[in-house]
Amino acid sequence: MKNNITKLTIVFISILALSGCSDYLESESKSAWKEENFYSNKQQANIAIAGIYSQLSNDQLYGNSFNVLIEGGTDETYTSDGGPTWDEAKYNFNSSSVPIKNAWLNFYSCIHLVNQFEKNLKPSIYSTVEEYNSVLAKAYFMRAFCYFNLANWFGPVPLRLTPVTSQKDNILAASPVLEVYQQVEKDFLFAAEHLVHANNAKYLPGEPNKMAAHGMLARLYLKMGGYQPYLSPVEANCYLPNNQQYFKKAQDQCEIVINDGWHQLNPSYRAHFLTYLQDKYDLKESLFEISFGNLEATGLHVSGRLGNINGVRFFGTADIPRGFCKINASQMLYNKYPSEDLRRTWNIAGFANNYTTSTSSYTMTYFFDNPLNQYYAPGKFRRWEPKNLDELIVATRLTNAEYVILNNTTGSATDPNFTSINFPILRYSDILLMHAEACIGGKEGTLDASDKAINSLNLVRLRAGLDEYSGSLAHKDFFDEIVDERLRELCFEGLRKQDLIRWNLLEKKLAENNLAIKASATYSDSNVFHQTYLAAGKNFDKTKHLLLPYPIQETQLNTALIPR
């Protein structure tokens, strides 16, 4: 269950509260929980690992605000909210942006905990070297994950591999992107060698596992082989002559997972995502997730807002299943789905439920074929749905219609805005689509589609109820199909923007999205929501928006980090 990790986190955070303030107190700490003797047994080491995991599952990263950065402003989503809170989704941000600062801070906080763990973990508390390595591999996986994100979003970043113990340790210049990726590769390779398989009796759901590390290596290699924003000439020379080597490495890593044979697609796309809503793990398809547990009742804020901020509109007097639809499903996404695609009506909701105080009633509306509706929501993490959708489709508007709650509400009553829905980081369908892309050498490759590439693509298509791919096998045509298939399959999972950046297609797709919005039959120049949808495409500047700026607070502290 999802609380396996977060229960340990309570203890860990309590320990930090006792020991973490020593730098700010003049008197010597009397606590036995000092850095040098903290990891004196396996239980303490497990608590520390849980604390590392918890850094990603807070409101400033995958719980909420980081999701705006990674999802907003593509051909997949935009926001209907015209307020400044959502400026990051509209490319209206700068180095003072709070979500950008928080993303930087929390990734580095996680890295610091890993570095501290590596320094102080004692091999003597484990009976074998391999047991010690398997625990260390969990920490290395998380450090690699954090540095991968930092390099993807910020480019060159300071590469810290030892704990920060004083202000002078903060003064560190950014390392070249390639150097950061090479460290990520090293950590993921160690994790792939020493982590247990998800089918191992010792494996705890929610933790990294062996095949997840192989899958993340594949994602890393695709990124390394793709377009690199704003590289210096020296850095560019490290990539361009040899970038195709990374696609072969990505293919090899995907084939390790595929040939292992244990991971597979859930026969039902809907059933797979219901496991996220019901606090279960579908370990066959989901290789790695950011785990949440709603612990508001304990006073700890470690829960997410998946299905709330980007959820299907449900707003009024009822506490659950509250959803705001601050992130909208796009016109382009709607256009890319054929009507027979089974993912279409799951990934896009096209309905909402709003309470009217004057009539003391809820009004449920249906508008699936009107993507410019202000409540056109992602449906992938829906907390509720109409009990009788067919009746709603016919009527388009119903008063006090019955609905079904899909999200497990255990422990959620204290705050309806927080959910326990896990954030999917790596699924088996992504492995298959990365494999198909790697087989043809990515966007700049020259290889036509092979049987391997076609087979991996078809496994995803067939699960979606589509026919096998029968289009052109020429490189460009098959690559274009992968671009569309990744949108249809992986929407709202925080992957689209980085996909478009490494393909050097973000500017093009934003322009296409704005054209699609204006071409809609319901578009109006006077509609404030429609104009807000266009903001990302209008504001985007390729010369500065493919990477995030360094937070101003960081460049003020770290004088070796040059502002940009």
**Mean pLDDT, consecutive 10-residue segments, the chain of 564 residues?**
44 37 37 63 91 87 81 91 87 94 95 96 95 97 98 96 89 94 98 98 95 98 93 68 86 98 98 93 97 61 81 81 92 97 97 89 96 96 95 96 83 69 96 98 94 98 98 97 98 96 97 97 96 96 95 96 92
As given in the structure block, the two tokens for residue 88 are 């990051």
The Cα–Cα gap between 386 and 125 comes to 54
Task: Pick the last residue of a domain from 397, 423, 449.
Answer: 423
In this structure, is residue 30 part of a structural domain? no
Clarify whether residues 544 and 410 are in a common domain. Answer: no
Mutual orientation of helices 42-54 and 3-19 as an angle, nearest 10°?
100
Clarify whether residues 274 and 376 are in a common domain. Answer: no
Q: What integer pLDDT is reported at residue 3 of this predicted model?
A: 46
Task: Pick the last residue of a domain from 423, 443, 477.
Answer: 423
As given in the structure block, the two tokens for residue 409 are 């509400």
Q: What is the CATH number of the domain that holds 537?
A: 1.25.40.390
Clarify whether residues 314 and 266 are in a common domain. Answer: no
Residue with tokens 């303490």: 44
Clarify whether residues 109 and 62 are in a common domain. Answer: yes
For residue 126, which of 41, 231, 217 has the smallest C-alpha distance? 41
For residue 456, the SS3 value is: helix
Q: What integer pLDDT is reported at residue 319 of this predicted model?
A: 66
Clarify whether residues 419 and 433 are in a common domain. Answer: no
Phi, psi of 131 (to 5 degrees): -65, -40
Those residues whose C-beta lies under 8 Å from the C-beta of residue 111, and which sit 6 or more positions away, are 143, 146, 147, 160
Query: Does this model's pTM top 0.85?
Result: yes
Give whole-number Cα distances, 2 to 10, 202, 296, 306, 392, in Å: 14, 16, 15, 15, 34
Clarify whether residues 199 and 348 are in a common domain. Answer: no
As given in the structure block, the two tokens for residue 494 are 């925080």
The Cα–Cα gap between 29 and 519 comes to 66
Clarify whether residues 509 and 415 are in a common domain. Answer: no
Clarify whether residues 331 and 478 are in a common domain. Answer: no
Number of domains in the chain: 2
For residue 146, the SS3 value is: helix
Q: What integer pLDDT is reported at residue 63 of this predicted model?
A: 84
In this structure, is residue 391 part of a structural domain? yes
Clarify whether residues 358 and 485 are in a common domain. Answer: no
Those residues whose C-beta lies under 8 Å from the C-beta of residue 472, and which sit 6 or more positions away, are 478
The Cα–Cα gap between 279 and 302 comes to 15
Clarify whether residues 55 and 150 are in a common domain. Answer: yes
Clarify whether residues 49 and 184 are in a common domain. Answer: yes
Phi, psi of 103 (to 5 degrees): -65, -50
Residue 110 contacts residue 139 (beta carbons within 8 Å)? no
Q: Which range of residues forms the domain containing residue 91?
A: 1-22+35-288+424-564
Task: Pick the last residue of a domain from 398, 423, 448.
Answer: 423
Give whole-number Cα distances, 107 to 73, 115, 190, 377, 499, in Å: 22, 12, 20, 29, 21
The Cα–Cα gap between 386 and 363 comes to 12
Clarify whether residues 106 and 240 are in a common domain. Answer: yes
In this structure, is residue 173 part of a structural domain? yes
In this structure, is residue 530 part of a structural domain? yes
The Cα–Cα gap between 28 and 421 comes to 42
